């Protein structure tokens, strides 16, 4: 894998910040975009643009073909059985809200239970809490050990006759923990319970195969896997999606409308009310093609090397505290140094051109479990280098000396 060549595909990586070369370590929040993804958006706006699905004219049909070809690219990427199982949304958050609303309305009654984990992103907590307020469902939480690994024995004990669904993140956006979701899904299925995988932080870094996992639902965002903002995916097994009611009403999701009775479109369109971001979906497909072109195994190997190197180098820094020491971990490292406030450390690193994220990372219950308010988080992507990690370590040492 030729990192320098890959970096040339990402124009933003050659810019400076405060006169320093940009070191971009905020990939967990969003990844940068290769030129071919951005070009695809511009090209389609300039040469194809027309609303999809409804037109008899040439452009509309061409735009529709591109949009549906993107759905096929996503299907292959996650190995879904059919494009009927690939619903386009605005992102992970909307995908989860869709699922919670539709599944919750159809299959959950007062007193029913959902199992989440202590390391969920707010996107996989708050929608369930809104449902709890509406319908009186209960939320149960899988605890973790001090290394940041979920306690699978405790997980098993949380199941009851009232458990209707489990929803857990595959890779923690704070701890980097890779949760054993395949095993956890098998446990849920042994109790006759479906499982939603939040793959927002796994899709960019590892092969995710919905059939191999036997996931009932799986969600992710395009912008975290080198694609554009505003597009996401909800994968759902057809047998579930078929039985679920629409989330939003509007154009596209109907078969026939009258004031007496409306019938709904087939999958996946039943869940796609209104004009979709058909140009963004092309961008997503280009991003996935780009990832395939480099090869997920190579990307994973490179990021693993980077993470191992970063952990080793960061641990050389006095008073370094790293949060998350799971045996199986991804390319995310959260830390604090001595008594330096995470916000101060992040701000001073920024002045050195190093972009990291600070704060609670939309995981306040996890912060509570760790007994802290926030961390500094460095998260890596395929284009990051060991030299950039050296720059981060030197930056932290410099800030530490100032305090």
Residues identified as active-site: 362
79 conformational bin, left if phi > 0, alpha if psi -120 to 50, beta if neither = left
Largest CA distance in the chain: 73
Instruction: Report the nearest approach of ligand PMP to the CB of residue 364 (Å).
Output: 13
Residue matched to tokens 């930056």 = 395
Nearest to 173 by CA among 385, 339, 364: 364
* 16: three-class secondary structure by DSSP: strand
Q: In this complex, which beta carbon is closest to ligand PMP, that of residue 84 or of residue 179?
A: 179
334 lies in the site for ligand PMP, by CB under 6 A: no
**Residues numbered 226-265 forming contacts with ligand PMP, rule: CB under 6 A:** none
Nearest to 225 by CA among 16, 371, 54, 30: 30
Q: In this complex, which beta carbon is closest to ligand PMP, that of residue 40 or of residue 201?
A: 201
> ∠167-171-173 over CA atoms, to 5°?
100
Q: Which of 221, 281, 282, 384 binds ligand PMP (CB under 6 A)?
A: 221
Q: Which of 73, 84, 102, 123 binds ligand PMP (CB under 6 A)?
A: 123
Q: Which of 67, 75, 121, 286 binds ligand PMP (CB under 6 A)?
A: 121
Instruction: Report the nearest approach of ligand PMP to the CB of residue 362 (Å).
Output: 6
Q: Which of 91, 104, 330, 374 binds ligand PMP (CB under 6 A)?
A: 91
Query: What is the Cα–Cα distance from 184 to 197, expressed in whole angstroms?
Result: 10
Q: In this complex, which beta carbon is closest to ligand PMP, that of residue 163 or of residue 179?
A: 179
Q: In this complex, which beta carbon is closest to ligand PMP, that of residue 200 or of residue 381?
A: 200
Instruction: Report the nearest approach of ligand PMP to the CB of residue 167 (Å).
Output: 11
Instruction: Report the nearest approach of ligand PMP to the CB of residue 235 (Å).
Output: 15
Q: Which region among 51-59, 118-126, 130-138, 139-147 touches ligand PMP (by CB under 6 A)? A: 118-126
Query: What is the Cα–Cα distance from 221 to 31, expressed in whole angstroms?
Result: 11
Q: In this complex, which beta carbon is closest to ligand PMP, that of residue 115 or of residue 391?
A: 115
Nearest to 123 by CA among 221, 248, 31, 213: 221
Q: Which of 93, 97, 101, 163 binds ligand PMP (CB under 6 A)?
A: 93
Instruction: Report the nearest approach of ligand PMP to the CB of residue 91 (Å).
Output: 4
How many amino acids of this chain bind ligand PMP (CB under 6 A)? 14
Query: What is the Cα–Cα distance from 148 to 214, expressed in whole angstroms?
Result: 24
> Which structure tokens are listed for 72?
């096929």
3-state helix, strand, coil in the chain (%, to 5): 45, 20, 35
Q: How many C-beta neighbours within 10 Å does residue 131 have?
A: 21
Q: How far is CA 296 from CA 25, 202, 207, 289, 378, in A?
A: 20, 11, 6, 11, 21
- The torsion of the CA quartet 131, 133, 128, 191, rounded to 10 degrees, works out to -80
Q: Which region among 4-12, 86-94, 240-248, 310-318 touches ligand PMP (by CB under 6 A)? A: 86-94
What is the helix (H) or strand (E) element at residue 335, kind and residue range?
strand 332-337
Q: Which region among 88-96, 189-197, 272-280, 389-397 touches ligand PMP (by CB under 6 A)? A: 88-96
Q: In this complex, which beta carbon is closest to ligand PMP, that of residue 138 or of residue 362?
A: 362
Instruction: Report the nearest approach of ligand PMP to the CB of residue 62 (Å).
Output: 29
352 alpha carbon, distance to own chain's centre: 28
Q: Which region among 90-98, 188-196, 350-358, 371-379 touches ligand PMP (by CB under 6 A)? A: 90-98
Query: What is the Cα–Cα distance from 133 to 155, expressed in whole angstroms?
Result: 24
358 lies in the site for ligand PMP, by CB under 6 A: no
Query: What is the Cα–Cα distance from 176 to 201, expressed in whole angstroms?
Result: 9
Strand partners of residue 144: 150
117 lies in the site for ligand PMP, by CB under 6 A: no
Site pattern 10..49 for ligand PMP (x: CB under 6 A): -------------------x--------------------
**Residues numbered 153-212 forming contacts with ligand PMP, rule: CB under 6 A:** 169, 173, 198, 200-201
The beta strands (E) that lie in 65-118 are given as 86-89, 113-117
Binding interface with ligand PMP (CB under 6 A): 29, 91-93, 121, 123-124, 169, 173, 198, 200-201, 221, 362
């Amino acid at each position: 894998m030729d990192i320098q060549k890959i970096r040339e595909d990402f124009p933003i990586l050659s810019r400076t910040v405060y006169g320093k070369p940009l070191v971009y370590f905020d990939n967990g929040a969003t990844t940068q975009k290769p030129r071919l993804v951005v070009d695809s958006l511009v090209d389609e706006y300039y040469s194809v643009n027309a609303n999809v699905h409804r037109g008899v004219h040439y452009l509309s049909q061409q735009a529709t073909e591109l949009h549906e070809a993107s759905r096929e690219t996503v299907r292959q990427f996650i190995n879904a059985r059919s494009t009927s199982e690939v619903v386009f949304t605005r992102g992970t958050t909307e995908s989860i809200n869709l699922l919670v609303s539709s599944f919750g309305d159809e299959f959950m009654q007062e007193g029913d239970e959902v199992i989440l984990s202590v390391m969920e992103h707010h996107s996989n907590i708050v929608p369930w809490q809104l449902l709890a307020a509406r319908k009186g469902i209960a939320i149960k939480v899988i605890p973790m050990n001090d290394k940041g690994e979920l306690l699978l024995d405790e997980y098993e004990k949380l199941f009851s006759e009232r458990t209707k669904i489990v929803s857990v993140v595959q890779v923690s956006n704070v701890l980097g923990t890779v949760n054993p979701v395949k095993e956890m899904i098998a446990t849920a299925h042994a109790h006759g319970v479906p499982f939603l995988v939040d793959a927002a932080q796994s899709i960019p870094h590892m092969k995710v195969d919905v059939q191999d996992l036997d996931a009932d639902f799986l969600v992710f965002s395009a912008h975290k896997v080198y694609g554009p903002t505003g597009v996401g995916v909800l994968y759902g097994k057809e047998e579930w999606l078929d039985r679920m009611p629409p989330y939003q009403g509007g154009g596209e999701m109907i078969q026939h409308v009258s004031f007496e009775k409306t019938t709904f479109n087939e999958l996946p369109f039943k869940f796609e009310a209104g004009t979709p971001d058909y140009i963004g979906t092309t961008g997503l497909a280009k991003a996935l093609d780009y990832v395939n072109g480099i090869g997920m195994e190579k990307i994973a190997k490179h990021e693993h090397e980077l993470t191992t190197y970063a952990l080793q180098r960061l641990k050389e820094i006095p008073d370094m505290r790293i949060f998350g020491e799971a045996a199986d971990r991804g390319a995310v490292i959260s830390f604090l140094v001595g008594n330096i406030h995470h916000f101060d450390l992040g701000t001073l690193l920024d002045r050195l051109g190093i972009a990291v994220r600070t704060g609670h990372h939309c995981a306040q219950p996890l912060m509570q479990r760790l007994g802290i308010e926030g961390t500094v988080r460095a998260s890596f992507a395929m284009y990051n280098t060991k030299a950039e990690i050296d720059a981060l370590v030197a930056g932290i040492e410099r800030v530490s000396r100032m305090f």
